[in-house]
Structure 1
Amino acid sequence: MKPEIIKISQIPIDQSVVCILGSDKLPERLNLSKSEKEFVRKQLGAKEEYIYINSYSKCIYLIRLKEGISHYKIREELRKTSYKLRKLIKANNHSELVITSDNAYKGAIEDFTEGLLLSIYSFKKYKTKAEEGDNKNFPSKLLLHGDIDDSEINWLVELTDAAYFTRDLINEPVNHLNATALAAEIKKIGDSAGFEVEVLTKGKIEALKMGGLLAVNKGSVDPPVFCILDWHPANCLNSKPFVLVGKGVVYDTGGLNIKTGDYMAGMNGDMAGAAIVTGVLHTAAKTGIPLHIIALIPSTDNRPGGNAYTQGDILTMYNKMTVEVGNTDAEGRLILADAISYASKYNPELIIDIATLTGSAAMTFGNKAIALMSNADRKYIKLLEECGNDVYERIAELPSWDEYGELLKSDVADLKNVGGREAGAIIAGKFLEHFAEFPLIHLDIAGTELLKKDDFYRLKNGPGSGLRLLSTFFKRIAADYKEKN
């Protein structure tokens, strides 16, 4: 369970404390004894990352901020330290824990708290037996002491709430979360947060002739859905909406081009894009971001059963283009293409799609960067880069030269859905570009989302990569609109 976050004005004398230090000076309010001060000074001199003091009635965790590196890296190192401290904090079984700072940058308390909250998430919904360490708990309350705006606390609460349910959705197995069940969960989240959700079922999808989504669904016994999420506040600052598109493949077997070995493991998380855009809409609605934001989620599983689509099939997409299927395991781009085409009806300012799309993106950037391709105004790329540094969900841009599009040419249709082994992530992005009538930013999170082990607070099995990036991106856009007006 996620701890409650509470702002306090004074630190109780017997309360356990995390204190973030911006210098080697020790704050008197920690009430350290002479021997404790000597110990701390010695540890600071040794450049220890953190210092732990057990004073019997309470515990004190001191963190000295790094120096000599970029500010955004200082922030990230602090989040990483929270991950490193998580086991010690749990072992001490605090019911409450104060987080404060001294001579640190404004926002340090929030950064540590965010890192800790993301580090202690777990998915144990289906566990029936207690495990070692279950008799110890993380704090049920985090007490924040310092110069913190109420709006920033609200942002922290809502963004981490979104991170928790996003991770929950990603971790759910497909036998509990098929496309229909995913739509129901999204509807619940919308009702709670205050944004509209419309769910198009198979009959409506057929009427719209979304050939990509319908083809991928042909091997499944469960019907597809197409979810439309709409946050349209009365005070919105933009005349044209921003449209997000999230890939909602609730399980990807690869279809008839079936995944082999362990490549199918974790494919219940292939709907991470869908969960992430839902989290962004939640954060926007709950924090009152004054922007009109729409999210489109095409959802199905990709299976080899029944009348599954095959290599060589020719599909007619929503925008009436024809596509030759070269590989049934390149299904994500087919359902995204229909959604990107559908986005045109809103006359959007910008379309952003996010998906665990290609192994090529993971091979290119590993888990260090989100692959980006775009034909949008460079101001949006620059802002994404800044936001990516701030939250350390960094982007790395791939070229979108016309020559790459040549590899998608088909002898029998307008284009193919694959273009060979080389430049796979770029080819996928070029494919999607054919379906965008408005500026498009394509984010491939395969490397940063499908993790085999923890990357500090970005936990394995679905960290929700891109949620914090896009939420911060829209927060910044709204601030820019206000400044100009």
Structure 2
Amino acid sequence: MKLKISKVKAINAKASVVYIVNSAADLKTTGLSKDELDYVTKQFKAENKSAIINKATGTIVVEKKADKKEEYLNLEEARKQAFCTSNSLNCVKETAVTVSDLTGSTTYLMAYIEGFALSNYQFLKYFEDAAKRAYTLKNLYVLDDTITKANLDELVSIVANVYEARTLVNEPLSYLTAEELSNEIKRISKKSGFTLKVLNKKEIEKLGMGGLLAVNLGTPNPPTFNIMEWKPAKAVNKKPIVLVGKGVVYDTGGLSLKPTKGSMDSMKADMGGAAAVIGAMATIAENKLPVHVIGLVPATENRPDGLAYTPGDVIKMMSGLTVEVLNTDAEGRMILADALHYAKRYKPELVVDLATLTGAAAVAIGANGVVAMGTADDKEFESLSDSSYEVFERIARFPFWDDYSEMLKSDIADMKNIGGREAGAITAGKFLERFTDYPYIHLDIAGPAFLDFPSSYRLKGGSGVGVRLLYNFIKSKAGK
């Protein structure tokens, strides 16, 4: 359920209320009774972060502002508090809530609203009783003089496109084929304002995208190559920034078949990188950032049909390089390689790819962060890191030494599509590097893209990771 977020000048008597405070003393002007104030004080002394007061007219929630050493941790705590409160209010079937900050911290309040809105997402499309399951909260009112309508409009756009990304990830292959993904991008482009060009299979064959075509051999559904562009009249960058997202709409592993439980069963999420790029492009366009950005999404399934590419095959890529395929389950890098080569035609300032690429990345840092590596300048990584902490989609930069390329040497082709058992996330990045000639950042989101268990406001299933990170990073390029 999408929340309608709007400003108000006074507490809505018919809505529940959330007060954000430093201490119970901040509540003296709110009209709470002495007993209620004493109750809040008692809860805070017991080290509870929230105090809930149930009244006949609605629920009053008092949230104690976090006071951690680092501000990014405070903002994340605000989002988590909002998640708990959102759940509580939906459980008692509240339809509206007014949030009032009594601490004077605009950034904390904005993080709280963001967490609240992100927590209200549901994917109910395939439930017969979807209406019964739907959350009741529909309106979030903000009582604060420092937050502008523009602030809220931007936040609404960000949250809406995280929702879009989550839904794309949550959709099963029975609906979301590569062609249907292109249709979804078309729908989003029309509402958001970026341009879209979709290349069909014949056009992909003409370009010689051998990696994408090889992965597609085992499925009856054709591949697509999606080119999104946001090019404002007064862009601050002379060369575009290119975002590339892995769009494997379902991955069986191909002939290197995955086991089902805990592996193949969640592989509808293997286009999480594509979803992030689509959501980011929509948010960038809707907020009219003065930055020229291009988004590329190669899309296909990876299936083990009789025509499927096989371990031992040698594939000629769009770049002309030949790849010895030793594992058909290392398909993401095959389709990304063609997209990264395609990006060369733009002579980009920077290319960032996002992909649910390796189990090794998930094993290394779990769902707690995003593995990052590449050839871009340290300043780019520092800027991206700053954004990652601000939105709490933290990046962990891995080494990118040339030594790792040795693990990709083939006896019969220019390179292999896998390295060895060790450093799997890094050798995947080094494989992709061979198809670049520009500043490059690779982000492996295999850990946080699809969550098997609820994780606060990220929820369960598709998390939409990458949308907020990319938007914040591109916004920093605009100097905003």
TM range (shorter): over 0.9
Determine the C-alpha separation between the residues in 2 that align with 1:346 and 1:66: 45
Cα distance, 1:92–1:477 mapped onto 2, change above 3 Å: same
Determine the C-alpha separation between the residues in 2 that align with 1:309 and 1:77: 47
* Deviation at residue 5 of structure 1 after TM alignment: 0.7
After superposition, residues 374-413 of structure 1 pair within 5 angstroms as 374-413=374-413
Mean Cα deviation higher: 402-411 or 62-71:
62-71
Equivalent residues of 2:15, 2:95 under 8 A apart = no
* Deviation at residue 130 of structure 1 after TM alignment: 5.8
Structure 1 match to 2:114: 114
Equivalent residues of 2:239, 2:347 under 8 A apart = yes
After superposition, residues 231-380 of structure 1 pair within 5 angstroms as 231-262=230-261, 263-380=263-380
Equivalent residues of 2:24, 2:37 under 8 A apart = no
Equivalent residues of 2:198, 2:226 under 8 A apart = yes
Determine the C-alpha separation between the residues in 2 that align with 1:447 and 1:207: 35
* Deviation at residue 452 of structure 1 after TM alignment: 1.1
C-alpha RMSD of matched pairs (Å): 1.4
Structure 2 match to 1:20: 20
Equivalent residues of 2:400, 2:430 under 8 A apart = yes
Equivalent residues of 1:250, 1:271 under 8 A apart = yes
Determine the C-alpha separation between the residues in 2 that align with 1:375 and 1:473: 17
**After superposition, what is the alpha-carbon deviation per residue over 1:131-160, rounded to whole angstroms, capped at 9, x for unaligned?**
9xx378432110011120222111110000
Determine the C-alpha separation between the residues in 1 that align with 2:189 and 2:260: 38
Cα distance, 1:135–1:468 mapped onto 2, change above 3 Å: closer
Tell me, yes or no, if structure 1 residue 209 matches structure 2 residue 208. yes
Tell me, yes or no, if structure 1 residue 141 matches structure 2 residue 142. no
Q: Partner amino acid for 1:425?
A: A
After superposition, residues 43-54 of structure 1 pair within 5 angstroms as 43-54=43-54
TM-score (norm 1): 0.96
Q: Partner amino acid for 1:139?
A: L
Aligned length: 478
**After superposition, what is the alpha-carbon deviation per residue over 1:96-150, rounded to whole angstroms, capped at 9, x for unaligned?**
110111114222222111112212211110101369xx37843211001112022
TM-score (norm 2): 0.97
Equivalent residues of 1:93, 1:136 under 8 A apart = no
Structure 1 match to 2:83: 83
Equivalent residues of 1:20, 1:108 under 8 A apart = no
Structure 2 match to 1:171: 170
Segments of structure 2 that go 5 or more residues without pairing to the other structure are: none
* Deviation at residue 25 of structure 1 after TM alignment: 2.2
Cα distance, 1:130–1:315 mapped onto 2, change above 3 Å: closer
Task: Describe the SS at the equivalent of 2:373.
Answer: strand
**After superposition, what is the alpha-carbon deviation per residue over 1:141-187, rounded to whole angstroms, capped at 9, x for unaligned?**
10011120222111110000101111111111101110000001101
Cα distance, 1:136–1:244 mapped onto 2, change above 3 Å: closer
Determine the C-alpha separation between the residues in 2 that align with 1:208 and 1:68: 53
**After superposition, what is the alpha-carbon deviation per residue over 1:262-285, rounded to whole angstroms, capped at 9, x for unaligned?**
110111111111111010010001
Q: Partner amino acid for 2:406?
A: E
Equivalent residues of 1:242, 1:350 under 8 A apart = yes
Segments of structure 1 that go 5 or more residues without pairing to the other structure are: 481-485
Mean Cα deviation higher: 223-232 or 85-94:
85-94
Cα distance, 1:29–1:92 mapped onto 2, change above 3 Å: farther
* Deviation at residue 377 of structure 1 after TM alignment: 1.1
Structure 2 match to 1:483: none
Determine the C-alpha separation between the residues in 2 that align with 1:15 and 1:129: 27
* Deviation at residue 223 of structure 1 after TM alignment: 0.5
Q: Partner amino acid for 2:196?
A: V
Tell me, yes or no, if structure 1 residue 435 matches structure 2 residue 435. yes
- Give runs of ≥4 in structure 1 deviating > 4 Å: none
Equivalent residues of 2:247, 2:299 under 8 A apart = yes
Query: Share of identical aligned residues, percent?
Result: 44
* Deviation at residue 29 of structure 1 after TM alignment: 4.3
Structure 2 match to 1:161: 160
Determine the C-alpha separation between the residues in 1 that align with 2:235 and 2:306: 46
Structure 2 match to 1:416: 416
Task: Describe the SS at the equivalent of 1:403.
Answer: helix
* Deviation at residue 14 of structure 1 after TM alignment: 4.8
